[in-house]
Amino acid sequence: MSQPEAGGGAPPKRTPRRRWRLVLIWLASILGFVIVGALALVVVAGVRDGTGPFDSFYVNRLAKTTRDEPKGGIVFYGASNFARWSEINTDLAPYHVVNHGFGGSTDKRLVKHADTLLFPLEPAVVVFQTGSNDYLFMTGTDQAKAAECLAYKKQMFADFHERLPDAQFVVMSGLLAPGRANHVPVTQMVNQGLKEFAESVDYLRFVDASELTYDGSVFDESLFVADGIHLNRTGQQAWAQYIIPVLDDITRP
């Protein structure tokens, strides 16, 4: 009887154990790709917005892009609705501004990075953006959140005024945004407190743009991108119309 040739014949059957091993390898590979992809997105977002461990990296990079700007100009200093406003100088023409907004900023981060992003420019005018980032993760009642937030803001403005005694400050009202509808009451309290504080000092002006996005019962969602938090181009251009008159008033001879 002839013998089968070496290496010939039907391939060995996969045992149940081997099949499970292949399935686990396949699942581990997929999970690895998902984890690597998620980490890559975190890194990209962090570098772009200056969040997490990329805070100082982003801020230093932002400062380098404007280091040749002349002193004594207009600086916008705030969170992502400033940072995302890429056509700010078109919308605020004829004014030229240095946009030092950065994503996720809070008042504490504005204070932390002022030596890098604000004071070296010796601005004549600083426009601040206030917002829900400051009390997003606070606990307690809305009244308690607003009181804590306002106390810090008042001290921040006083300290900034001490460092920039000749500068005029403008603070925008917190946007009432559909994506953060649950923060409307505390935002309104902070806005009122800022208005009253601005009336008590001679270096700060409060710009109330609350009605732009919220009429007291309905949000104008046409002014926002899909997240309901950040203004779209229409919203930015509408926001500019609240800012230009105060810049006219401050810079008028």
Task: Name the token pair of 120.
Answer: 């070296």
Asked whether residue 171 carries a pLDDT value surpassing 90, the answer given is yes
Q: Range with the lowest mean pLDDT among 81-85, 127-131, 205-209?
A: 127-131
Rounded CA separation 54/47 (Å):
6
Q: What's the sign of the alpha-carbon dihedral 128, 131, 136, 142? A: positive
Instruction: Provide the CATH topology of domain 55-251.
Output: Rossmann fold (3.40.50)
Place of tokens 């609350």: 210
Asked whether residue 42 carries a pLDDT value surpassing 50, the answer given is no
pLDDT at site 55: 75
pLDDT at site 21: 76
The fraction of the chain above a pLDDT of 70, given in percent, is 85
Amino acid at 159: D
**R_g of the chain computed on alpha carbons:** 26
What is the average pLDDT across 216-235?
97
pLDDT band at 14 (very low <50, low <70, confident <90, very high): low
10 Å Cβ neighbour count for 182?
Answer: 9
